[in-house]
Amino acid sequence: MYGLALFDLDGTLTDPKEGITRAVRHALNAFGIKPASLDELTGFIGPPLREALRARYGFSPEDTERAVAGFREYFTARGMFENKVYPGIPRMLERLASRGVRMAVATSKPMVYAQKIVAHFGLDGFFSIVAGCELDGRRSRKGEVIRFAMEAVGPARPLPAVMVGDREHDIIGAAEAGMDGIGVTWGDGTLRELERAGAAAVADTPEALFGLIAG
């Protein structure tokens, strides 16, 4: 059993595919890049945006910031709520809370967006904190976000703690912060990616995830 569970947001609690991929497409249009479909852009779900843009398109620092601004133009106006909670997530959170498990969100998404999304879906009451990066890119590595969330929960935080997410960044960040990482397969990562990153366990459903956290 774990006393504290930290959850990734995109691909773990909610399915943000439509909003994120549309926002990325909007940003790329300014560079004359025309993706054939939104499915080509699902790799942007999960990793820090700046990191993903540089890796995928080799953008300079200046072009990266220009693309981030284009992304936010769409995301703030529309894309933030082109999103949906995965089936079974609210019930799983209710059950964990009833078992006394404390919970937090640790996402690479800017914290100001993450807090609005979690509140929009009525999930904010489950979490001690919704932690993310800053708009200027500070604290974008998942390990940094996890440590920030742990500090915010406070010295009385229950242990052991676990990080739950759908991508390798979540599992690697958990290891950097000295805790287990549990992968989930309903997001955008793959079982192979999660296992290769060193996931302590992998859940295929929210019900199975409840069992892995609460015993």
In this predicted structure, what is the pLDDT of residue 154?
A: 82
124: number of Cβ within 10 Å: 14
What are the CA-CA distances from residue 158 to residues 16, 105, 121, 162 (Å)? 30, 15, 26, 11
Is residue 188 flagged as an active site residue?
no
Phi, psi of 213 (to 5 degrees): -85, -50
In this predicted structure, what is the pLDDT of residue 137?
A: 72
CATH of domain 4-15+83-214: 3.40.50.1000
190: number of Cβ within 10 Å: 14
Active-site pick, 8, 15, 166, 170: 8
In this predicted structure, what is the pLDDT of residue 138?
A: 85
User: Within the chain, which residues score under 70 in pLDDT?
Assistant: none
Cα separation, 123 vs 119, in Å, equals: 6
In this predicted structure, what is the pLDDT of residue 201?
A: 98
CATH (one of 1.10.150.240, 3.40.50.12780, 3.40.190.10, 3.40.50.720) for 17-81: 1.10.150.240
Q: Name the percent of the chain lying above pLDDT 90.
A: 86
Cα separation, 137 vs 117, in Å, equals: 19
Predicted confidence (pLDDT) per residue in 4-27, tens digit? 999 999 999 999 999 999 999 999
Domain layout of the chain by residue ranges: 4-15+83-214, 17-81
Are the C-beta atoms of residues 139 and 102 closer than 8 Å to each other?
A: no
Are the C-beta atoms of residues 147 and 123 closer than 8 Å to each other?
A: no
Closest of 2, 28, 13 to residue 186, by C-alpha = 13
